[in-house]
Chain A
Amino acid sequence: MTQLKEKLLSSFIAFEDQKDIDSYVHGIRTKAIKTFEKEGFPTKKLENWKYTSLKKTLNYDYKLFPSETKALEFKDIKKYLIDDVESYKIIFVDGKYSSHLSETTHDGMDICILSSALNQSKYDLLIENYFDKISKKDGITSLNTAFSSEGSFIHIPKNVQVDKPIQVIYFSTGKNESVFYQPRNLIIVGENSQVEIIERHQSLSENSVLVNSVSEIYCNVRSEVKHYKIQNDKTNASLIDNTFVSQERNSDYSLHTFSLGGELTRNNLSIIQNGERIESTINGITIIGSNQHVDHNTLIHHKKPNCNSYQDYKGIFGDNSVGVFNGQVMVEKEAQKTNAFQANNNVLTSDKATINTKPQLEIFADDVKCSHGCTVGQLDQNALFYLRSRGIPEKEATALMMYGFANKVLGSVGITQVKTRINQIIAKKLGVKIGFDI
């Protein structure tokens, strides 16, 4: 851990050397590396990291900039795309933008890459107004900020309904080395605009991969953003996903996180409601086994009156896996007439699996409706017997019930093809061939 930290600190100078040191971002990066130096990596001593240790994950000898990259063809990545729907694609391979696999646009909006936004003066104002404005200044986020140079840049101006979903996918191919990436996304959605984004990190490598991703998402007045995170990486890949969302009045942000793979996955999600009549919906399905570890750390911050938030996280944990849900809802004094609902339901399918859940409500306003419910249990044995007595084999019956358990969350997915894909992944995960109808 200390070793990696030292390595990161000493690499920073070399990294910054290649950049324009007069740029606005240079100052931010320099400040960020200092924060990281001070804060370091999070440890279990921090209340928010009580149940997740990065010790093992940080113990690999990561390269910070991959020395070799493999050229990928469309056929290599096809199965990781939602390929049966028209979409914009921003594809990165080993931290570098891959133009021949991507499909971007500057036609009436910018669906492109962060490096070009950082390097072109016409974007200066946007960068100054939005870059690193809502991200948390903790160690792990600051680390990303210090090394932020590439990622997706999505800027949708006023009154635009983006015609097709945007897929943002990061691949890593590193053959003989472990790599630590710091991708950075900046998404600005203008007034009254609508967009759908699908995000994924995928390792194609046999070696350990650690991704520390930061996304800043701005939802302006009356905008609507539908966001999907598909986390189904190899078991040698870990992800720390830091997503910061800032919403203005009447905006609607929804996120579905499907955590179905990876070694260690930590989702830090923070949503701040800055205006009235905002809707925020965050849903998750987590199905893991072996020694996998998934930690959802969410915050919904209600600052203004008449807003709603809905959270629904379902988890199924097998083998030696560990699940964590730490969901915080904060309602400020001014935020009267807030409706905040939070549900976290878990099923353990193995005696060695663990679930730690901590749904928190912090309420400073009196005229609110807030509730949370959380359950831990196993599948209903009577129902299982019922299915089997109807001729459904145990494995399929179990799968069907697990599917039924998670189904409510899938039901709210807007893109049919995403729904189908998640269904397939879940079926595969549960080792069954049956198709699940929705």
Chain B
Amino acid sequence: MSKYTEDDLKKELETKEYEYGFYTDIESDTLPVGLNEEIIIAISKKKEEPEWMTEWRLDAFKKWQEMSEPEWANVKYEKPDLQKISYYSAPSNKPKYNSLDEVDPELLETFKKLGISVDEQKKLAGVAVDVVIDSVSVATSFKDTLKEKGIIFCSMNEAIKEHPELVKKYIGTVIPKTDNYYAALNSAVFSDGSFCYIPKGVKCPMELSTYFRINEAGTGQFERTLVVADKGSYVSYLEGCSAPSRNENQLHAAVVELIALDDAEIKYSTVQNWFPGDSDGNGGVFNFVTKRGLCENNAKISWTQVETGSAVTWKYPSCVLKGKNSVGEFYSIAVTNNFQQADTGTKMIHLGENTKSTIISKGISAGKSQNSYRGLVQISPRAKNSRNFSQCDSLLIGNECGAHTFPYIETKNKSAQIEHEATTSKIGEDQIFYCNQRGIDTEKAIALIVNGFSKEVLNKLPMEFAVEAQKLLEISLEGSVG
């Protein structure tokens, strides 16, 4: 009798086109390729930045030149030639828009294709969206509503000009310019990004959201996000990413800094769907991202990520739990298929007393991909009564992929309580048959099982994002069987 076999599934998987792989024809304004002081000065100038920012960039560039690319991650790739990248590409239909209605209709069409109808989201969810295409923020919606509450939500570029005191005070404080190779590069060349400030005691009434998209060929994307939640405030921030399919690798090296002052809470959710490369492993985005948050007393930072895209991912959203009773959380789903490689996880640095962290990581590997969890839990001598719970589960689909777990646990305090668990499993043929017998076909069965496997993390996403994330999981994995 015929059966949808593993081979059939694999074939279908391979031929599955990148759903968001399209190219929007928007006129762009691109700087020449290459990286040197002139380019950095040019970027800064184009953005009409104050001098202190130019200096800041140049300092980062100087330090970056002395650094070398990290090699410890469990990924193999041809290092991008950083002199062949254009460090600035902005849609040339300037100037800025006051509302979405003014945005280039073609751009809006892009959003529709992305499946994230901004209009709809605005209406349904009350999400304020900042859209960054090829490194430049083109629209920030709902600005007025936010203004009433004193919330600043704008492009980084604007923030540097309009709120220099805030930017100056916080930028680079959680992730120093010299933190790592790509963070230093970003500090030198970042082109735009989002800035968000929530004043004391304010609960942000809506989800804030940024969409990142690399459009132009041969460009790198280096956006920089800074979220500051002042004392007792709350914000939930969403980030989505996509890029059209191209044969060459594109570089994305972002920096995200979160600062949660006393009693503040930041929820940061990411659905990352950069182009993962084709089924032969050509093209795809190199995603080398540095994300870190700082918690003061009683503050809480929660990272949730659904990582389905990118050819190579190198990303460890981290929490520095500096204040007493502060809480760090990391919930992650990382899916790799075909030739994708992901080395992702988190660092929880416990410095203050009674600090708590939770890590839930779900890795799903299919095709010929390699999926690694790498995490660090560090308890300093001062961090009395700290707690950590980590759970890392891997699901393997097919026999040509790999799942790896590298947890580092460093404890220097006797009152610490740390628990780490990891498991590896596959989707059982008996599970698939059970679903089949109930009339659920194999593809759907896998989606169901993968969703079940990932549930603890999916539950942490804001509703409208969770639906999108579930869809993405299905697209990325349609029908693989073990």
Query: B396, A363: Cβ atoms under 8 Å?
Result: yes
Proximity bits, B391-413, A CB within 8 Å = 1, else 0: 00010111111111111111111
* Shortest distance between the CB of A367 and any CB in chain B (Å): 6
- Docked complex Cα distance between A371 and B407 (Å): 13
Question: Which single member of A370, A371, A376 contacts B418 (CB below 8 Å)?
Answer: A376
- B424 near A: Cβ within 8 Å? yes
* Shortest distance between the CB of A193 and any CB in chain B (Å): 34
Residue among A354, A366, A368 having the largest count of chain B Cβ atoms under 10 Å:
A366
- A192 near B: Cβ within 8 Å? no
**A358-B406, A377-B416 known; A371 and B424 CB under 8 Å?**
yes
Question: Which single member of B411, B425, B482 contacts A376 (CB below 8 Å)?
Answer: B411
* Shortest distance between the CB of A296 and any CB in chain B (Å): 14
Proximity bits, A347-376, B CB within 8 Å = 1, else 0: 011111111111111111111111111111
Which residues on A sit within 8 Å (CB–CB) of B2? Answer: none
- Docked complex Cα distance between A355 and B424 (Å): 25
Give B72's nearest chain A residue, CB to CB: A47
Which residues on B sit within 8 Å (CB–CB) of A367? Answer: 399, 426, 482
Query: A366, B421: Cβ atoms under 8 Å?
Result: no
Which residues on A sit within 8 Å (CB–CB) of B398? Answer: 366
Query: A353, B426: Cβ atoms under 8 Å?
Result: no
Question: Which single member of A356, A357, A370, A377 contacts B424 (CB below 8 Å)?
Answer: A370
- B168 near A: Cβ within 8 Å? no
- A78 near B: Cβ within 8 Å? no
Q: How large is the interface on B (under 10, 10 to 19, 20 to 34, 35 or more residues)?
A: 35 or more
* Shortest distance between the CB of B432 and any CB in chain A (Å): 13
- Docked complex Cα distance between A220 and B155 (Å): 67
Question: Which single member of B397, B407, B417, B419 contacts A358 (CB below 8 Å)?
Answer: B407
* Shortest distance between the CB of A213 and any CB in chain B (Å): 28
- A333 near B: Cβ within 8 Å? yes
- A11 near B: Cβ within 8 Å? no
Give B373's nearest chain A residue, CB to CB: A361
Number of A-B pairs, beta carbon distance below 8 Å? 115
Query: A333, B400: Cβ atoms under 8 Å?
Result: yes
Query: A351, B381: Cβ atoms under 8 Å?
Result: yes
Query: B421, A351: Cβ atoms under 8 Å?
Result: no
- Docked complex Cα distance between A350 and B482 (Å): 47
Query: A368, B424: Cβ atoms under 8 Å?
Result: yes
- A69 near B: Cβ within 8 Å? no
* Shortest distance between the CB of B234 and any CB in chain A (Å): 32
Which residues on A sit within 8 Å (CB–CB) of B423? Answer: 370-371
Proximity bits, A277-301, B CB within 8 Å = 1, else 0: 0000000000000000000000000
**A348-B414, A350-B414, A357-B409 known; A369 and B422 CB under 8 Å?**
no
- A378 near B: Cβ within 8 Å? yes
* Shortest distance between the CB of B404 and any CB in chain A (Å): 5
* Shortest distance between the CB of B202 and any CB in chain A (Å): 38
Give B389's nearest chain A residue, CB to CB: A375
Query: A361, B72: Cβ atoms under 8 Å?
Result: no
Which residues on B sit within 8 Å (CB–CB) of A377? Answer: 416-418
Which residues on A sit within 8 Å (CB–CB) of B72? Answer: 47
- B455 near A: Cβ within 8 Å? no
- Docked complex Cα distance between A348 and B398 (Å): 41
Query: A356, B405: Cβ atoms under 8 Å?
Result: no
* Shortest distance between the CB of B422 and any CB in chain A (Å): 5
**A375-B418, A376-B409, A378-B414 known; A361 and B404 CB under 8 Å?**
yes
* Shortest distance between the CB of B150 and any CB in chain A (Å): 43
* Shortest distance between the CB of B141 and any CB in chain A (Å): 45
Residue among B399, B400, B411, B416 having the largest count of chain A Cβ atoms under 10 Å:
B411
- Docked complex Cα distance between A357 and B401 (Å): 26
Which residues on B sit within 8 Å (CB–CB) of A372? Answer: 405, 420-422
* Shortest distance between the CB of B394 and any CB in chain A (Å): 7
Give A351's nearest chain B residue, CB to CB: B414
* Shortest distance between the CB of B445 and any CB in chain A (Å): 16
- B247 near A: Cβ within 8 Å? no
* Shortest distance between the CB of B449 and any CB in chain A (Å): 14
Give A375's nearest chain B residue, CB to CB: B419
**A349-B414, A376-B411 known; A362 and B422 CB under 8 Å?**
no
Query: A333, B399: Cβ atoms under 8 Å?
Result: yes
Residue among B398, B400, B406 having the largest count of chain A Cβ atoms under 10 Å:
B406
* Shortest distance between the CB of A375 and any CB in chain B (Å): 5
- B24 near A: Cβ within 8 Å? no
Question: Which single member of B397, B405, B409, B420 contacts A366 (CB below 8 Å)?
Answer: B397
Query: B396, A373: Cβ atoms under 8 Å?
Result: no
- Docked complex Cα distance between A296 and B416 (Å): 21
- Docked complex Cα distance between A366 and B379 (Å): 34
- B415 near A: Cβ within 8 Å? yes
* Shortest distance between the CB of A122 and any CB in chain B (Å): 47
**A361-B424, A366-B397, A368-B424 known; A356 and B408 CB under 8 Å?**
yes
Which residues on A sit within 8 Å (CB–CB) of B418? Answer: 374-377
- Docked complex Cα distance between A372 and B72 (Å): 22
- Docked complex Cα distance between A393 and B421 (Å): 35
Query: A362, B404: Cβ atoms under 8 Å?
Result: yes
Proximity bits, A36-72, B CB within 8 Å = 1, else 0: 0000000000010001000000000000000000000
Give A334's nearest chain B residue, CB to CB: B399
Question: Which single member of B401, B416, B425 contacts A348 (CB below 8 Å)?
Answer: B416
Query: A358, B404: Cβ atoms under 8 Å?
Result: no
Give B421's nearest chain A residue, CB to CB: A373
- Docked complex Cα distance between A370 and B395 (Å): 11
Residue among A336, A352, A372, A378 having the largest count of chain B Cβ atoms under 10 Å:
A372
Between A and B, 16 residue pairs with Cβ closer than 8 Å are A346-B411, A351-B381, A359-B405, A359-B420, A360-B404, A361-B404, A362-B405, A363-B402, A364-B402, A366-B396, A366-B482, A368-B396, A370-B422, A372-B420, A374-B418, A376-B418
Further contacts, 16 of them, CB under 8 A, given A364-B401, A366-B401:
A333-B400, A346-B411, A348-B413, A349-B414, A352-B412, A355-B409, A359-B405, A360-B407, A362-B405, A367-B399, A374-B407, A374-B409, A375-B419, A376-B409, A376-B411, A377-B416
Closest 5 CB pairs of A and B: A348-B414, A366-B396, A376-B418, A370-B424, A361-B405
Chain A interface (Cβ < 8 Å from any Cβ of B) = 47, 51, 333, 336, 346, 348-378
